[in-house]
Amino acid sequence: MIGGAGKPSTRRPAIQLQIKTILNRIQHYVGFVYQDIRFTAEEGSQGGIAIRLEPHRGIRGRCSECRRPAPGYDRLEERRWGHVPLWGIPTWFLYAPRRVQCPQHGVVVEDLPWNEGKRSLTTVMMGFLARWGRRLSWRETAEVFQTSWEAVYRSVEWFVQWGLAHRELQGVESLGVDEIHWGHGLRANNFLTVIYQIDACCRRLLWVGKGRSQRTLRRGLKALGTTVVQGLRFVCSDMWKPYLDVMAAQAGQALHVLDRFHITLHLNQAVDHVRRGESSRLRAAGKSAAQQLKHMRWTLLRRGSRVRGRARQKLKALLTSKLQTARAWELKETFAHFWSYRSVSWAEAFLYAWCGRAMHSRLEPMKKVARMLRAHEPLLLNWFRAKGEISTGAVEGLNNKIRVMTRRSYGFRTYEAMEIALYHTLGRLPEPELTHRFC
């Protein structure tokens, strides 16, 4: 209490603040004491803060295998761990670990609560870097906290591995499965298979792996475990055959739903296909109508109600034309009604009528979509049976986040690093508990 007017007796004496006081307050390790803290300023360097720890006298070291107290054996050389920097000054923990003689495990190094294996950072520092590594790029994190990219990567990796080992998979009822293109080229290795949880209560990335074959998905499901797979009620995916086959074989009890956004994607691709074909035909023939298709790609791909301003006028003009693209667009736009039905049988009737129109459109890309929809009709109608049970926009939303991460190069140098980063940002993983929240 400061300056309690008229009541000087309640005033506490001011104490000299020591770094040790702060350390004991925010991260006290039972069995160890902060011995001394020194500022070491070597010539030509900005210096650093060295925090030396010692064993608490009278408390025995614990075996690092079983965590039980054991008699001391000897002491090893002093080790050094990078710690959270103070005011931008590099900070280290220094400690000479004891070896203990455990009745069960023999002579082993003692358990150090701030240490994880042979790592050169304290667990607190690793958690600190990992949390910042979610807000900034890893390179920026390394720069800001005067460490290496590698150190940030290894910290995130530790954080993620801890999270994966401690996450709860109970109550996962709905999965979204999708493929994501990654890197350059169209080889199998340029695709990732992602498995999301898309329950209304929790949307997160559960698994990611290279490839998009049956084997890839089987690997993913195996990682989630049979309890999860057999407890599934809904699965949501594109019409990609390997995924459909694996899910039917392994989670036959679950209702397989074709995602709205994937269907829309196929329709958009078909419209674009028609536009490109028509545009080059018109240009080749020197027809002025080619002008109407110029710069229309993105306008045509949007939902009609979302096209505004000049683009809208251009679109209107295009639609009054007799162009194939106009008819293709109109078919795509009409299909949007499909999703608004409440009754499965009405939706079914609509689908039948729409496919009939598309098949008579003389537009091959639209006919192709119609054939595809017909072939998957039961799965398509499952969408209405699952309505309200799964969050249908989830797959698209999570995909977009992944694309942002993989495209905007965050400087993941390897696939493994990117995988870690995806779990880190989208996995909603539990975090190791620390006694103090540094950031």
Q: Which C-beta is closer to Zn ion: that of 63 or that of 208?
A: 63
- Residue 102 engages Zn ion in binding (rule: CB under 5 A): yes
Give, in degrees to the nearest 5, the angle at Cα 288 between 286 and 292: 125
Q: Which C-beta is closer to Zn ion: that of 42 or that of 74?
A: 74
- Residue 227 engages Zn ion in binding (rule: CB under 5 A): no
Tell me the residue nearest to Zn ion as measured from the CB: 63
Q: Which C-beta is closer to Zn ion: that of 66 or that of 224?
A: 66
User: Of 23, 63, 254, 331, which lies in the binding site for Zn ion, with binding defined by CB under 5 A?
Assistant: 63
CB of residue 62 to Zn ion, shortest distance in Å: 8
Q: And the tokens for 22? A: 């702060």
- Residue 109 engages Zn ion in binding (rule: CB under 5 A): no
Site string for Zn ion, 20-59 (x = CB under 5 A): ----------------------------------------
- Residue 105 engages Zn ion in binding (rule: CB under 5 A): yes
- Residue 60 engages Zn ion in binding (rule: CB under 5 A): no
User: Of 20, 26, 33, 65, which lies in the binding site for Zn ion, with binding defined by CB under 5 A?
Assistant: 65
Judged by CB under 5 A, which stretch of 105-113, 247-255, 302-310, 401-409 contacts Zn ion? 105-113
Do 79 and 99 meet the contact criterion of CB atoms below 8 Å apart? Answer: no
Do 315 and 301 meet the contact criterion of CB atoms below 8 Å apart? Answer: no
CB of residue 64 to Zn ion, shortest distance in Å: 8
Q: And the tokens for 326? A: 């106009």
Do 321 and 292 meet the contact criterion of CB atoms below 8 Å apart? Answer: yes
The closest alpha carbon to 164, from 90, 241, 100, 223, belongs to: 223
Q: What distance in Å separates the CA atoms of residue 211 and residue 341, rounded to the nearest whole number?
A: 36
Judged by CB under 5 A, which stretch of 62-70, 166-174, 350-358, 427-435 contacts Zn ion? 62-70
Q: Which C-beta is closer to Zn ion: that of 103 or that of 430?
A: 103
Q: Which C-beta is closer to Zn ion: that of 113 or that of 304?
A: 113
- Residue 293 engages Zn ion in binding (rule: CB under 5 A): no
Judged by CB under 5 A, which stretch of 63-71, 116-124, 343-351, 395-403 contacts Zn ion? 63-71
CB of residue 110 to Zn ion, shortest distance in Å: 10
Q: Which C-beta is closer to Zn ion: that of 72 or that of 225?
A: 72
Site string for Zn ion, 302-341 (x = CB under 5 A): ----------------------------------------
What is the biggest distance separating any 2 CA atoms in the chain, rounded to whole angstroms?
Answer: 99
Do 78 and 37 meet the contact criterion of CB atoms below 8 Å apart? Answer: no
Cα 143 to Cα 77, 146, 148, 410: the distances in Å are 30, 5, 7, 14
Cα 66 to Cα 101, 118, 411: the distances in Å are 12, 18, 39
What is the Cα 358 distance to its own chain's centre?
38
Q: What distance in Å separates the CA atoms of residue 40 and residue 18, rounded to the nearest whole number?
A: 16
The closest alpha carbon to 384, from 239, 257, 267, belongs to: 257
CB of residue 104 to Zn ion, shortest distance in Å: 5
Q: What is the DSSP letter of 315?
A: H
Q: What distance in Å separates the CA atoms of residue 367 and residue 288, rounded to the nearest whole number?
A: 27
Q: Which C-beta is closer to Zn ion: that of 8 or that of 117?
A: 117
Q: Which C-beta is closer to Zn ion: that of 72 or that of 378?
A: 72
Q: Is 357 exposed, middle or buried (0-12, 13-18, 19+ CB in 10 A)?
A: middle
CB of residue 116 to Zn ion, shortest distance in Å: 18
- Residue 104 engages Zn ion in binding (rule: CB under 5 A): yes
Judged by CB under 5 A, which stretch of 99-107, 288-296, 353-361, 368-376 contacts Zn ion? 99-107
CB of residue 95 to Zn ion, shortest distance in Å: 20
Q: What distance in Å separates the CA atoms of residue 274 and residue 327, rounded to the nearest whole number?
A: 10
Q: Which C-beta is closer to Zn ion: that of 105 or that of 428?
A: 105
User: Hey, CA dihedral for 388, 390, 394, 399, is it positive or negative?
Assistant: negative
Q: Which C-beta is closer to Zn ion: that of 103 or that of 356?
A: 103
Q: And the tokens for 341? A: 């039905």
The count of chain residues that interact with Zn ion, using the rule CB under 5 A, is: 6
User: Of 19, 33, 50, 66, which lies in the binding site for Zn ion, with binding defined by CB under 5 A?
Assistant: 66
Give, in degrees to the nearest 5, the angle at Cα 96 between 93 and 100: 130
β strands within 211-296, DSSP E: 234-237, 255-258
* Residue ranges binding Zn ion (CB under 5 A): 63, 65-66, 102, 104-105
